[in-house]
Structure 1
Amino acid sequence: MTDVHVLSAARLVREIRDGDRSPVVVVDALLDRIEARNDRTNAFVTVTADRARAAAREAGRAVEEGRSLGPLHGVPVAVKDLDDVAGVRTTFGSRLFEDDVADEDDEFVRRLEAAGAIVVGKTNTPEFGLGCTTDNLVVGPTGTPFDPSRIAGGSSGGAAAALADRLVPLAQGSDTGGSIRTPASCCGVFGLKPSFGRVPRMNRPNAFADHTPFSHTGPMARTVADAALMLDVMAGPDPGDPFSLPSDDADYVAATERPVDGMRVAYSPDLGIYPVEPAVREVVDEAVGALADAGATVERADPDVDCERGDVLDAFYAFAKVRWESLFDHLEEQGLDPRGADREKLRPVTVETILESDPVTTREYKRADVTRTTVYEGVVDLLREYDLLVTPTLGVEPFPHGEHPTEVDGVAVEPLRGWLLTQPFNFSGHPVGAVPAGLSADGLPVGMQVVGRRHADADVLAASAAVERERPWADDYPA
């Protein structure tokens, strides 16, 4: 019988429903694997073994008794440690919350568990999710399973590493500047940044915080079909989220089986403004050909964003710093003192980025909105002519822990975020699939973004699945 850890979520669902595999056996096998291998990548912060085993026993009884089973019945899933699972600690990657236990489930967790999924633990993230690499003072850095001495990306780095090391078949991520797509690229897994509002987010006390820049919650998996299965469960409106979208009545799993014949695809190897290392460009140049092989028309075209990459990053920082300052205000309202007595508990990069940087003026904030508008128009105008836009996710391969690129292809870049091609789509809110493009000559994963028209999540899944069929990546994961 095939080992549990290599199976897709879809196959686990079928085998559990048919009685061929017990949820208890599935959960036990993956918990054993996490215990044996988590030290290698540091993917998990907290493992909920007792809770997961109890849920697995109940899932097994449901099968035996012939009860109605949900679409994820018995399937283990990991939750990012920025989000709440009732009775489980949420550290936010910060020593300020190292022992903080959540009272309630986040809405997407309720939906996953109602569909039968079993939470096996919380995955690592940088402090408060503020970073493109996953490291913190609670448990330390997370590495890509392809080379644990190198970054897994961030901020959903623990989720991506857990998937690529086959510790779980499904994981949840979130994305405000590339936090699903960056780790997906670094770990060779698939992630979806859904359309803004497709998966509701219940931010409190500020329910309106997620619009600038757009923040998304989405599925991550080793196969596109598994991510679609997860999205079918997570998506849908909720009145508690003022930005949640009405249902589009899409069958996301069925979308992964759709042909892409007749689709027009714009391929931009650098979005017209970003430097990309030749090792990355070579892999993506070849991978985009999979869409042509599947029947789509692929043409070279760049969005006219009408600004420089430095303008995009400046605008992102203007938005993000205001949001981060608001976070610190909320911490103070909770009785913490991040600007004073608790400052020493914060990572130095958090202090430098928020506390030691110049405040953003209202004029700078509104000028950033103008930059955001030009980026939005450039993407929208291109997607009037094409169904999809494909571009690299990152300009670099995963790099060693503690290092940040200062140059990409000989061009000076801002070390913390200047090597990402992800932020424009947090300005625009378009759905983006983070697709494994292949391995570089050094055996490191490279990713590419498949960007769809507004609200066309099903098109993104269809194209991503077409790439997977033409260039399967299942055998790329380390043994």
Structure 2
Amino acid sequence: MAELHDLTALDQWQALQRGEFSPLELTEHYLARIERLNPELGAFVTVTADAARSRAAELQESGPGPAPIWGLPFADKDLEMRAGVPTGFGSRLFTGFVPPISDEIVEALDAAGGVSLGKTATPEFGLPSYTESLAGPPARNPWDTSRGSGGSSGGAAVAVASGMLPFAPGSDGGGSVRIPAAACGLVGLKPSRGRVPGGSALDSLAGLAVPGPLARTVSDAALLLDAMIAPNGYPADHHFALRAPASDGPFLASAVRGEGRFQLGVMTTSAWDDAYEITIAPEALQALDAAVAAFAAMGHGIEQTALEPDESYAPAFRTIWQAGAASIPAETPEQEELLEPLTRWLMHRGRALSARTLAEALKALATYERSLIRQLSRFDAVLTPALAMTPRPIGWYDAGDGERNFAQQVQYTPFTSMLNVSGLPAIVLPISETDAGLPMGVQLIGRPGGEATLLALGAQLERRVHWERRHPASW
């Protein structure tokens, strides 16, 4: 017999609207799932059961309304502040920190009618692409608990993939939504720069990090994206979306309809190819081939393409990654001792950068943004592998050698960060599994503001492959 978590998030929302079960019943169901599964999987660092029950009861009393995710549970990534709830940023440095205010994306999802069940695990300050913080247990991949979940939205991905949440918000500054989505067999969407008001990236260093949804289906991802963008509809004064063309309505419609025929590019090159030896595993190429065959069979145009060599990208991105750690508030030896080795290395490298080096890196990335958009502009979307390797074993990354650690991250995830630099939207889709039962995905890159096209293509592929029927053993 099907249980509540077997339903998609959209199915759950529709059932809530019909009164088939209440927000409190749904909340209790997921809290019970978390109590049973989280000790092994490490998806949550904090569970706010009492607050969630109170919130669900409040929504239940007010009744369903226009709020896009009314009554649906979610959880905040532990990089986002929620007033009165411990927020650790994945770091021992912030043990016991309880913020007095909430971040904008948290307030947006509350306004959209969601019920937060707590905080999901993230690596220290969201810096690495794997979720194995010393502040808590690693976020284990529910498909194989000896494997990692990716990062930095690793806890969110584990929670959704194991049925502890119907969907979850993440944030993506170099692949941090798409990497864990691919590792855990989910749909993960990085919106265009400027698309989501609460975390538009327009005020961040190099404009890299934007919030995005992780979900089991394309429609569920679109449902959560709509909630992130505009909890009260699509306002005319949506002035934050400076870089993203305005949408003509909720993205859920594009995902549900899944219509259109498009010209697709296919590539296996990345922005890192001139600086690191990138080897794409057979499993990643098989997933790409499966997606190409499926899209071709559906009548889409397919054309192979490749990126122009560019030696400026790697050093410029490394500089920004290091500069982003310079402001970590560790000023004393005692505070530094609480940081993880990789974070300390990044912080010191970032603080040693000159203003000229930082300015040159920002200029190089701005030039690369224009170049990448130009190179991909003749396609409606471009298909790449999601990751270059299968999900990595826990402990695979070298925690003590910053240079080697960075190289490992690049070699595992070469196809993601260039889209944060360019501000382009991208979606990861879980197309296949390896012989060992590990999920493998592909990535679709859109034009500026092209989320609707990505969701339509994703919906078409989902209807052909039906990845929503696949579940890990813990399900």
The question of a shared fold, defined as TM-score above 0.5 by the shorter chain, is answered with yes
Given that residues 213 and 320 in structure 1 are in contact (C-alpha distance below 8 angstroms), is that contact kept between their aligned partners in structure 2? no
Residue deviations 1:399-455, cap 9 Å, x none? 11111399xxxxx98123332121111110001111112112221111221110011
* Distance (whole Å) between structure 2 residues aligned to residue 244 and residue 79 of structure 1: 26
Change in Cα spacing, 1:106 to 1:413, as seen in structure 2 (3 Å) is: closer
The alignment status of 1:293 with 2:297, answered yes or no, reads yes
Residues 44-63 of structure 1 correspond to what in structure 2 (within 5 A)?
Answer: 44-63=44-63
* Distance (whole Å) between structure 2 residues aligned to residue 320 and residue 438 of structure 1: 32
Cross-structure match for 1:224: 218
**Identity across aligned pairs (percent)?**
36
Cross-structure match for 1:320: 321
* Distance (whole Å) between structure 1 residues aligned to residue 113 and residue 449 of structure 2: 27
Given that residues 67 and 112 in structure 2 are in contact (C-alpha distance below 8 angstroms), is that contact kept between their aligned partners in structure 1? yes
* Distance (whole Å) between structure 2 residues aligned to residue 393 and residue 30 of structure 1: 29
Given that residues 431 and 457 in structure 1 are in contact (C-alpha distance below 8 angstroms), is that contact kept between their aligned partners in structure 2? yes
Given that residues 270 and 307 in structure 2 are in contact (C-alpha distance below 8 angstroms), is that contact kept between their aligned partners in structure 1? yes
Given that residues 200 and 244 in structure 1 are in contact (C-alpha distance below 8 angstroms), is that contact kept between their aligned partners in structure 2? no
Cross-structure match for 2:442: 448
RMSD value, Cα: 2.5
| Worse-superposed segment, 234-243 or 269-278 | 234-243
Deviation of 1:193 after TM superposition, in Å, equals: 0.5
* Distance (whole Å) between structure 2 residues aligned to residue 62 and residue 290 of structure 1: 45
The alignment status of 1:112 with 2:109, answered yes or no, reads yes
Cross-structure match for 2:124: 127
Residues 258-277 of structure 1 correspond to what in structure 2 (within 5 A)?
Answer: 258-271=257-270, 273=273, 274-277=278-281
5+ long unaligned stretches in structure 2: 400-404
* Distance (whole Å) between structure 1 residues aligned to residue 349 and residue 448 of structure 2: 37
Q: Normalising to structure 2: TM-score of the pair?
A: 0.90
Given that residues 190 and 435 in structure 1 are in contact (C-alpha distance below 8 angstroms), is that contact kept between their aligned partners in structure 2? yes
* Distance (whole Å) between structure 2 residues aligned to residue 244 and residue 200 of structure 1: 12
* Distance (whole Å) between structure 2 residues aligned to residue 389 and residue 119 of structure 1: 35
Deviation of 1:371 after TM superposition, in Å, equals: 4.1
* Distance (whole Å) between structure 1 residues aligned to residue 264 and residue 281 of structure 2: 23
Change in Cα spacing, 1:356 to 1:284, as seen in structure 2 (3 Å) is: same
* Distance (whole Å) between structure 1 residues aligned to residue 60 and residue 407 of structure 2: 51
The alignment status of 1:159 with 2:156, answered yes or no, reads yes
Q: Normalising to structure 1: TM-score of the pair?
A: 0.89
| Worse-superposed segment, 353-362 or 30-39 | 353-362
Deviation of 1:375 after TM superposition, in Å, equals: 3.5
Deviation of 1:246 after TM superposition, in Å, equals: 7.2
Change in Cα spacing, 1:338 to 1:84, as seen in structure 2 (3 Å) is: same
* Distance (whole Å) between structure 2 residues aligned to residue 144 and residue 234 of structure 1: 26
Cross-structure match for 2:432: 438
The number of residue pairs the alignment matches comes to 457
Deviation of 1:219 after TM superposition, in Å, equals: 1.2
Residues 55-454 of structure 1 correspond to what in structure 2 (within 5 A)?
Answer: 55-63=55-63, 68-201=65-198, 209-236=203-230, 247-271=246-270, 273=273, 274-304=278-308, 306-308=309-311, 311-325=312-326, 327-328=327-328, 331=329, 337-355=330-348, 359-369=352-362, 371-373=364-366, 375-404=368-397, 414-420=407-413, 421-454=415-448
* Distance (whole Å) between structure 1 residues aligned to residue 406 and residue 134 of structure 2: 26
Amino acid at match of 1:222: R
Amino acid at match of 1:70: A
Q: Report SS of the residue matched to 2:122.
A: coil
Amino acid at match of 1:232: D
Cross-structure match for 2:454: 460
| Worse-superposed segment, 457-466 or 44-53 | 457-466
Residue deviations 1:88-132, cap 9 Å, x none? 111101112121112222222222222211001110000111111
* Distance (whole Å) between structure 2 residues aligned to residue 77 and residue 363 of structure 1: 42
Given that residues 213 and 224 in structure 2 are in contact (C-alpha distance below 8 angstroms), is that contact kept between their aligned partners in structure 1? yes
* Distance (whole Å) between structure 2 residues aligned to residue 295 and residue 289 of structure 1: 10
Amino acid at match of 2:453: D
Given that residues 266 and 389 in structure 1 are in contact (C-alpha distance below 8 angstroms), is that contact kept between their aligned partners in structure 2? yes
Amino acid at match of 2:313: V
Q: Report SS of the residue matched to 2:396.
A: coil
| Worse-superposed segment, 314-323 or 173-182 | 314-323
* Distance (whole Å) between structure 2 residues aligned to residue 162 and residue 50 of structure 1: 19
Cross-structure match for 1:409: none
